[in-house]
Amino acid sequence: MYKKPVIIAEIGCNHKGDMHIAKEMIATAALFCKADIVKFQKRNNRELLTEEQYNAPHPDPANSYGITYGEHREFLEFSIEEHKQLIEWCKEYNIGYSTSVWDLTSAKSITALNPKMIKIPSACNTHWEMLEWLCDNYLGEIHVSLGMTTKEEEGRIVDLFISKSRSQDLVIYSCTSGYPVPFSDICLLEISRLKQLYENKVKAIGFSGHHLGIAVDIAAYTLGASIIERHYTLDRTWKGTDHAASLEPDGVRRLVRDLNAVHKALQSKREEILPIEQIQRDKLKYRKH
């Protein structure tokens, strides 16, 4: 009944705009953590931000890589040529590549690279023009996070994919948008609600977590989220707003280990007395009548 868990290590912009760090993160996620997929981001900042937003100072100057918010975002942005290189490194280390797209231009650019999956972040899941374009032009899986999304918007997203005959390629994620999210705001039972409403309409239910630790992810998987996505960094003390809500390599490694262990354990008995029990039964079982 339970699919083998898929673990996505979201690099996002935790590479600090450095391709050497990005390569190290890919290699570490693949070889040490044993994750299934790494995920980056692609943004066209001039399209995504207003002129005022682009030229405004970063709201947290200590975490900024530029004088303005626009400069900060440009510093962290990889070009399409660099994304091609990221794909090659993912192939080299035998780990899946994926990217969140934040605008239509980025969606078109990443689609041209033909990845197996594209992610829509919570912030952009009501960008209807982009969703429709992807349904019509991109043939891979489309993963959509549902953070800060009303139930009406959520239903409209699923209905759009059904109307486009693409719901078989849609993965929806339970998510609370916050960095980090306190346990009381994770609301894990949303997974059960999504499963009840949409399990037979979409390809899979996922969980995108921005919390601390890894215990919650085990519960998310048990509740029915077969894809677990967590932010990932090499050092939680690095400059940037996402590092504090990310797992370091050993955290991702333990997450993968524990999820795979739970997957093996989540089954019913194949027979009344298992072979491992028969040995103990012969030795220990009370027989006096």
Give me the residue spans of the domains in the chain: 6-284
Output the pLDDT for position 289.
67
42, 14 in Cβ contact below 8 A? no
Output the pLDDT for position 50.
93
pLDDT < 50 stretches in the chain: none
Output the pLDDT for position 90.
98
Residues in Cβ contact with 132 at an 8 Å cutoff, skipping those fewer than 6 apart: 160, 164
| CA pair distance 1, 267, nearest whole angstrom | 8
Distances (CA, A) of 16 to 1, 20, 45, 138, 193: 40, 10, 16, 29, 37
Q: What is the distance of C-alpha 123 from the center of its chain?
A: 14
Output the pLDDT for position 288.
77
Is the entire prediction scored with pTM above 0.85? yes
Which tens digit of pLDDT belongs to each residue from 206-233? 999 999 999 999 999 999 999 999 999 9
Distances (CA, A) of 190 to 13, 77, 218, 225: 27, 33, 15, 10
Output the pLDDT for position 60.
86
Angle at Cα 93 formed by Cα 90 and Cα 104, nearest 5°?
A: 10
Tokens, residue 244: 């504090």
| CA pair distance 40, 100, nearest whole angstrom | 6
| CA pair distance 171, 204, nearest whole angstrom | 5
Mutual angle of helices 80-92 and 104-111, in 10-degree steps: 50
CATH code matching the domain that covers 6-284, chosen among 3.40.50.2300, 3.65.10.10, 3.30.420.40, 3.20.20.70: 3.20.20.70
| CA pair distance 141, 138, nearest whole angstrom | 8
